[in-house]
Structure 1
């Protein structure tokens, strides 16, 4: 007999069950890994803040479906956060890349731009200083600071960017005409700076008497008008009488006509179109106190302005009024214009 015919075939059922169990476990693990490798469903990071500035509270949120784990990196080196909704404050201005990981494998980023915080200005720390409203070329002007807490000063008087003085009470001599802006900051704190405006007029000529003989000796055209424009608005004798009665006049109430730049511009145009008489023009100024007129680089009388523009259409660029601080009367008119049709 063949010996092999006596060998029995035997299968252990426990081996088969173990094999089936391994197959099932492998399938479960594979399915879990397939589920984990699903595409990222995080669409965006929600950000809420009243302003993106240093120190402001910013809220970051995620509303992804089926999310169960979060990790936030705010891009500024601070510790991570692990909730779906978190708050954060940035201490320095700059651009920061915020990163979010959802369920460990899904990552999304967002850039936030943090601006410097706005400093709150304490008005009690602003410089308090005096500056006159009018100055003249080549004449020293005095300024004074009364800021109680000031220990250092930086003055700029409007003729350049450099520092013009570092004293508490400096003086300055202007070289050019026009409206200047004076600035002062104290204690090296640029946040607390004070400003004043000053109008610089051309250099004053010596007030020498003008005689009729001087006028008659001149033979060139328009010389008479030039001399008359330099004569005061009132005769010398009348000026003496006014000087003698200064005390009585000071007791009288000065009636200041209502006049602003807009109305004055309309009056000047009325003269240029010959629709307004000189008498109706000057009634808008204090009686007996007619103002002078600045035309670019020279000071003339109001009579000269009337004679120069009457019946001649002009292009009026700007008009400004300077008043006497004691009585409110207009003391100077600054006019910028050009004749129409002239180049």
Structure 2
């Protein structure tokens, strides 16, 4: 009987250890993938704040079931790894807040942030009394009663310029109408007191002829004419005065909202200062107050042309009777888009 050849295989210990090590690594990786590939619970969170304004702390609360790991992204290049973080935003706008739970489950909400409401100190506003009315040509005298005031800027409304820089101011109006008297003390524009005053037509003085007529009322009428027929009061050869009264310039009506929209069109390059000429009765170089600084309206329009801006406040003062714009107070800020 032929002898059988038997081959014996021998596996080295190191090879066995290698197989065991590779098996354990593979099992760990597989378990990790199985755990993280399981379905996500719905990621839920809510927010808690009083006004949702700039600078206000907003509390974010995660409500997700079985969550044990959190990653917050607040939409302003900041993040947090806490479960219920508190966060505040430095600028107004809409922010997409994203929460990643357990490394893979994602939820998102949009938070609207408003401009902060600034509370002004009522004790810092200038204090002065003003009459209800004054007549053209009469001296209006006003005195500031503000405590701790060292500088004063009085504007009586006929022009945008500062009319007086003393504690006691005097002014004489030249045209009738409803005007706004403004006072700033210590250079603080935010604390400006405004009061209205009605400027009346001047009293008409009686002519000598009118006075004579009144004195003659009780005198018997002798049918005698006061002046010869054809008497004009002119010397011989003196020509009659022509009516040289200039024609009154008026402006079409415009609301603050429409004016603001036209300013935005200037920033977009669709309009220029010339488009406002009719509302300023031809004078587009009138001084305006922009972000606490004074400049001509034409220069302001050049400054914002083709630039992105957002108007924060606007006040337009017009002259009564002509509707011509006399003063513009405006605050704005630059925007990226």
Aligned to 2:56: 56
Matches within 5 A, 1:140-155: 140-155=139-154
Structure with bigger RCO (C-alpha 8 Å, 6+ apart): 2
Q: Specify whether residues 181 and 111 from structure 1 end up closer, same or farther in structure 2 by C-alpha distance, changes over 3 A only.
A: same
Per-residue CA deviation, residues 5-58 of structure 1 (Å, 9 max, x unaligned), is 32235587x989986896686355325314424565454542111111233221
Larger radius of gyration: 1
Aligned to 1:93: 91
Per-residue CA deviation, residues 305-340 of structure 1 (Å, 9 max, x unaligned), is xxxxxxxxxxxxxxxxxxxxxxxxxxxxxxxxxxxx
Deviation at 1:202, TM superposition (A): 0.4
Matches within 5 A, 1:141-180: 141-180=140-179
Per-residue CA deviation, residues 124-152 of structure 1 (Å, 9 max, x unaligned), is 22211132222112333222212121122
Query: What SS does structure 2 have at the residue aligned with 1:129?
Result: coil
Matches within 5 A, 1:118-157: 118-157=117-156
- The separation in 2 between residues aligned to 1:30 and 1:68, in whole angstroms, is 21
2:136–2:173: 8 Å Cα contact kept in structure 1?
Answer: yes
Matches within 5 A, 1:1-343: 5-8=4-7, 26=26, 29-38=29-38, 41-75=41-75, 80-90=79-89, 92-95=90-93, 96-207=95-206, 209=211, 211-212=213-214
- The separation in 1 between residues aligned to 2:42 and 2:216, in whole angstroms, is 96
- The separation in 2 between residues aligned to 1:42 and 1:16, in whole angstroms, is 45
- The separation in 2 between residues aligned to 1:59 and 1:41, in whole angstroms, is 22
Deviation at 1:200, TM superposition (A): 0.8
Query: What SS does structure 1 have at the residue aligned with 2:33?
Result: helix
The TM-score, its normalising length taken from structure 2, stands at 0.52
- The separation in 1 between residues aligned to 2:188 and 2:40, in whole angstroms, is 52
Say how many residue pairs are matched: 215
Deviation at 1:160, TM superposition (A): 4.6
Per-residue CA deviation, residues 250-286 of structure 1 (Å, 9 max, x unaligned), is xxxxxxxxxxxxxxxxxxxxxxxxxxxxxxxxxxxxx
Deviation at 1:69, TM superposition (A): 0.5
The TM-score, its normalising length taken from structure 1, stands at 0.51
- The separation in 2 between residues aligned to 1:111 and 1:214, in whole angstroms, is 87
Deviation at 1:99, TM superposition (A): 3.8
Alpha carbon RMSD of aligned pairs, Å? 3.8
